Structure 1
Amino acid sequence: MSEAPGTGPDSAAATAPGTVLEVRDLHIGATVYPPNEPPRDIEIVHGVSFAIEKGKVLGLIGESGAGKSTIGLAALAYGRGGVRITGGEVWLHGENILALPKSGIRGVRGRRVTYVAQSAAAAFNPAHRLGDQVVEAALKHGLMSRREARERARMLFETLGLPDPDSFGRRFPHQVSGGQLQRAMTAMALCPAPDLIVFDEPTTALDVTTQIDVLAAIKRAIEETDVAAIYITHDLAVVAQISDDIMVLRHGNTVEYGPVQQMIEAPREAYTRELLSIRSDIKPQAEDQSGALLQLEGIDAAYGEVPVLFDVSMHLPKGQTLAVVGESGSGKSTTARVITGLLPPRAGTVSFKGEPLPPALSRRSKEQLRQIQMIYQMADTAMNPRQTVAEIIGRPLGFYFGLKGGERARRVAELLDQIEMGQGFADRYPAELSGGQKQRVCIARALAANPELILCDEPTSALDPLVAEGILKLLMELQAETRVSYLFITHDIATVRAISDSIAVMYMGRVVRFGPKDEVLSPPFDDYTDLLLKSVPEMKLGWLERALASRRMDSAGN
């Protein structure tokens, strides 16, 4: 029997003093099951190596499928979803954890290495109080008494900036905000005093105003506890604020690896430079914004007895893009539901081409339905998994225009060319497409109705930066070609700057600022717009500290 990887007498000799984690020549494989083909084994991580010292943070960045989370989980000697570590070594304080028996691995996970997931809401048990869950690992591994664990949890709540640290642990998960829950999950990871924490995109699902608080809390907690960390993200501006070193990954390979300053100021590789240059092209706003293809006037709306929109007014000219921006709960998607007729308003009118639209979807004509289409955030849930691409795109062609047979197939082919995919995708199912390809199919389905207005509800927020960039570029090209109008819902200011002609900023169900892009993004600002713009991460060292200092000055001034 061959010796386990890294168990020879000199294997750990090269580990430098102060190094918490050293990954050497890591190879990871998986089994794939292609449709109508036999299963086959593939390699998804190809010989990756890196090291992390105590109190330092390594940022792993790359698009979906790059291997970021797979490599991060290897630090726990874990392969998710049938993934297998097939070669290499993972040294934790001079011990190759891949050579440990199962009982030894159990002593590593949750004790020496902990994990912070992207969705804190899915990580907590809704039936148990937060404090009990935060101390669970420390108690399970016998690291401290219950009194000591609760005192450490209270200290961590305070370090992470959570409200009322003495009583915060008595709350249930549903009684705190998303940002607070993400910080509570960080407290849960820190409570056992681990050697290493793996942060797996912990701020991706958060608004920029919440993200800045969570980032600051994580950075402060790392500094005060001196833990080593892996921080996984697809956002270079975020990782630049928290990391000491950055590794750029693509297709399971290391593209570039080095200190954060060198990576953001003088990257050597073309792919890294491409990541840095995303959304550098800013679309100039339309000069004349006086017309109104779509007009909202004095809209009030409610879910049951709970009011959610208050006197919302905005307009969108033909062939232009209105970006509706704001944090979660601000009313962006609810406004879209009112426009589509899915949520009839309590007051106010929605006019299209100068005529009031019936408030309820059921009262609108087929022609009114055709003219306003929608592209959703999650392409996965917006398509029938049992239908082919041709069937998905072809359905509106049959419904609105009665196209059948060869005529319908020809139009599907034209639409596939228009979204730069081609006829070769017509017979594929959604499961056979990448995230960006799925979203392109959703765009083609919307275009199939030949609409005048498309509501885009955060269509790029679930995509990697380079894929999202391609989708935005496609949408702009289609607008130039067809003169279609977009109402684009987002919380990404970089996207807003890149694509919009006009902007509506929403906060707590109200429009707090509306007008041409250049006016909305120019001072003087209202308090919320000022906070929103100052919370957008920039690709500059020290941005986070300067942004927080600016917030403190603004608070002192008020």
Structure 2
Amino acid sequence: MSTERLVQVSNLQVVACGEDGNEVPIVKDVSFSIQRGEVLALIGESGSGKTTIALTLLGYARRGCRIAGGHVGVGGTDVLTASPAALRDLRDLRGRRVAYVAQSASASFNPALRIIDQVIEGVCVRRLMSRKDARTKAVRLFRALALPSPDTIGERYPHQVSGGQLQRLMAAMALMSDPEVVVFDEPTTALDVTTQIEVLRAFKRAIEEFHISAVYVSHDLAVVAQIADHVMVLRNGEIQEEGALEQIIEAPAHPYTRSLMAAAEPSCRLTEADADQALKQPPLLEISDLVAGYGEHDRAGMPAVRVLDDINLTLRRGTTLGVIGESGSGKSTLAYVIAGLLAPAKGDIRFVGKPLPGTHAKRDRDLYRRIQLVFQSADKVLNPAQDVGTILARPLRLFERCAPNEVPARIARLLDLVKLPASIARRRPAELSGGQKQRVNLARALAADPELIICDEVTSALDSVVGAAILDLLVELRHELNMSYLFISHDLSTVRSICDDIVVLFKGQKVDACNRSALFSQPRHPYTSLLIDSVPEMRANWLEETTLRAKA
């Protein structure tokens, strides 16, 4: 590796405008350097300043924030100097010399345009190459990133490719201008484990082939261990520890780094007593021969796109049933069917021994109350125009869970249940962290006094510390309220830690089912074994070893 310092950051200060109008420091005196061809990982929990620091390499601060001091140099360009010449350099820097790969590729692509047109747009607008040469280069990048049908995949629209493929296509877009530095901002966080492995392999191959320097933002130490050379641990905008990857993983010096590693380690949150008690519980939800999908139905009543095919499962009262599988396996479709958002094409669903109507229109208000769905992204389901108190008051009033004069006290109780202070009720969602918003999302479901809560990927977008806290909270509420959960996830470790029973879906079919203790102790279906083998281990070279095993 070259010893040339490509990126030099010193004494970086970033401030944000607080509620009272005064500026609050969110990045405090941060300094680091990146050598040419080196990958620096920025890790830490939500709000630690990872993305804020990474974006300063593009001379950018989010709305409400300001780069208040320090020096940011990229390849000899002073990014923060405000002279006219520096501004011209900054326009040349962004998207050309420093590229950005966002966490959510699906939110970054225009659904109305073909992929190839979006991938080559930047270099064509800048007149860096002709449209013909740009298309040729894009196909070469598609091939380097191990995308299927590299010659034709660009002719598709974003919705016609998988999430993992779209994430790699976004990386191709970033690499079109031969950038010196690429910022990867949590690019695999929301991907299932098997897709994550493919994307990590593709990123690592591209970094090595094109000799890219990179900043890799993540909260997942196991992922970082597969791609980084150097690691910087952040908390509240300050560096807690930095060093070579091996040193951080094998001999972390700072207590906070050790706490991050402890949060990432899979652990069982249920006791043997929980397991014994679960076996004695009667069925709460029973599904038999379920078929569901989308599009027009044929004469036999079958949908044009069949997503779930002959699904059978049982969820016992007071227990947690985990449903795992990769993207497209039908997990969320199953949640929508149970919640009444999608009518099944065939099959029988029984709730507390009685038939469960297929749609909300056929369910009464009480049945609507008894089954609640908590979505993956709280940002998309919490009304940004309302404060938390108003959001929580709505189900209390809709389902008549208390007298009107008791609503404030019930809101305070709900916030206490999810370990939030009563003062949160006066805030709007935009003023909360990711973990706080997910707790409010859960509190809203609890406001209905449900018997079953369907948790659809509720921790997949959260950092390991916050995600672990949410899992602990779910287990605590289960004990306190005798709650039942259908827990949908692509993360095998998460499912194993809180679920009594586990169902594995693959391409819409149930391919495996077992209790938690049998998951690792007995031979399983080949796809289940693949999921187990795809969970990254917190050590260097694990990715290379799995790649060699896959080829063997």
Q: Is this a same-fold pair by TM over 0.5?
A: yes
Kindly indicate whether residue 181 of structure 2 is the aligned counterpart of residue 190 of structure 1.
no
Q: Secondary structure at the match of 1:540?
A: coil
Question: Within 1, Cα distance between the matches of 2:22 and 2:159?
Answer: 43
Partner residue in 2 for 1:351: 350
**1:289 counterpart letter in structure 2:** L
Residue 54 (structure 1) aligned to one of 36, 47, 61: 36
The answer to whether the 8 A contact 1:24-1:48 is kept is yes
The answer to whether the 8 A contact 1:385-1:430 is kept is yes
Kindly indicate whether residue 345 of structure 2 is the aligned counterpart of residue 370 of structure 1.
no
Partner residue in 1 for 2:69: 87
Q: Secondary structure at the match of 1:297?
A: strand
Kindly indicate whether residue 227 of structure 2 is the aligned counterpart of residue 242 of structure 1.
yes
Partner residue in 1 for 2:59: 77
Partner residue in 2 for 1:541: 540
The answer to whether the 8 A contact 2:3-2:36 is kept is no
The answer to whether the 8 A contact 2:47-2:433 is kept is no
Partner residue in 1 for 2:302: none
Q: Shift of residue 139 of structure 1?
A: 4.6
Q: Secondary structure at the match of 2:226?
A: helix
**1:292 counterpart letter in structure 2:** P
The answer to whether the 8 A contact 1:505-1:513 is kept is yes
The answer to whether the 8 A contact 2:186-2:216 is kept is yes
Q: Shift of residue 149 of structure 1?
A: 4.2
Q: Shift of residue 325 of structure 1?
A: 0.9
Runs of 4+ in 1 over 6 A off after TM superposition: none
Partner residue in 2 for 1:556: none
Structure-2 change in CA distance of 1:192 and 1:417 (3 Å): closer
Question: Within 1, Cα distance between the matches of 2:450 and 2:155?
Answer: 52
Question: Within 2, Cα distance between the matches of 1:66 and 1:17?
Answer: 29
Q: Secondary structure at the match of 2:16?
A: strand
Partner residue in 1 for 2:300: none
Q: Shift of residue 116 of structure 1?
A: 1.4
Aligned ranges 1:325-474 → 2 under 5 Å: 325-401=324-400, 403-474=402-473
More displaced stretch, 321-330 vs 172-181: 172-181
Partner residue in 1 for 2:5: 19
Q: Shift of residue 456 of structure 1?
A: 1.2
**1:63 counterpart letter in structure 2:** E
Question: Within 1, Cα distance between the matches of 2:436 and 2:123?
Answer: 44
Aligned ranges 1:295-334 → 2 under 5 Å: 295-305=286-296, 306-334=305-333
Question: Within 1, Cα distance between the matches of 2:163 and 2:516?
Answer: 30
Partner residue in 2 for 1:13: none
Residue 219 (structure 1) aligned to one of 201, 204, 226: 204
- Describe the superposition over 1:129-161 as per-residue Cα deviations: whole angstroms up to 9, x where unpaired: 444443444455555555554443333222211
Question: Within 2, Cα distance between the matches of 1:415 and 1:82?
Answer: 31
Question: Within 2, Cα distance between the matches of 1:161 and 1:420?
Answer: 44
- Describe the superposition over 1:277-307 as per-residue Cα deviations: whole angstroms up to 9, x where unpaired: 1154313461353631111111111223332
**2:464 counterpart letter in structure 1:** P
Structure-2 change in CA distance of 1:502 and 1:171 (3 Å): same
Question: Within 1, Cα distance between the matches of 2:381 and 2:112?
Answer: 31
Question: Within 1, Cα distance between the matches of 2:429 and 2:60?
Answer: 29
Q: Shift of residue 17 of structure 1?
A: 4.7
The answer to whether the 8 A contact 2:266-2:494 is kept is no
The answer to whether the 8 A contact 2:371-2:450 is kept is yes
- Describe the superposition over 1:442-486 as per-residue Cα deviations: whole angstroms up to 9, x where unpaired: 322322332221111122223222112111111111111121111
Question: Within 2, Cα distance between the matches of 1:169 and 1:381?
Answer: 29
Q: Shift of residue 82 of structure 1?
A: 4.4
Q: Secondary structure at the match of 1:98?
A: coil
Kindly indicate whether residue 88 of structure 2 is the aligned counterpart of residue 103 of structure 1.
yes
* TM-score normalized by the length of structure 1: 0.89
Residue 15 (structure 2) aligned to one of 9, 15, 29: 29
**1:299 counterpart letter in structure 2:** L
Partner residue in 1 for 2:301: none
More displaced stretch, 257-266 vs 331-340: 331-340
Q: Shift of residue 533 of structure 1?
A: 1.7
Question: Within 1, Cα distance between the matches of 2:74 and 2:327?
Answer: 39
Partner residue in 1 for 2:285: 294
Partner residue in 1 for 2:523: 524
* TM-score normalized by the length of structure 2: 0.90
Question: Within 2, Cα distance between the matches of 1:411 and 1:27?
Answer: 42
More displaced stretch, 115-124 vs 319-328: 115-124
Residue 270 (structure 1) aligned to one of 252, 255, 258: 255
Partner residue in 2 for 1:511: 510
More displaced stretch, 214-223 vs 303-312: 303-312
Structure-2 change in CA distance of 1:383 and 1:453 (3 Å): same
**1:90 counterpart letter in structure 2:** V
Q: Shift of residue 262 of structure 1?
A: 0.8
Partner residue in 1 for 2:218: 233
What percent identity do the matched residue pairs reach? 51
Structure-2 change in CA distance of 1:400 and 1:90 (3 Å): closer
Question: Within 1, Cα distance between the matches of 2:158 and 2:452?
Answer: 39
**1:243 counterpart letter in structure 2:** A
More displaced stretch, 343-352 vs 312-321: 343-352
**1:222 counterpart letter in structure 2:** I
**2:253 counterpart letter in structure 1:** R
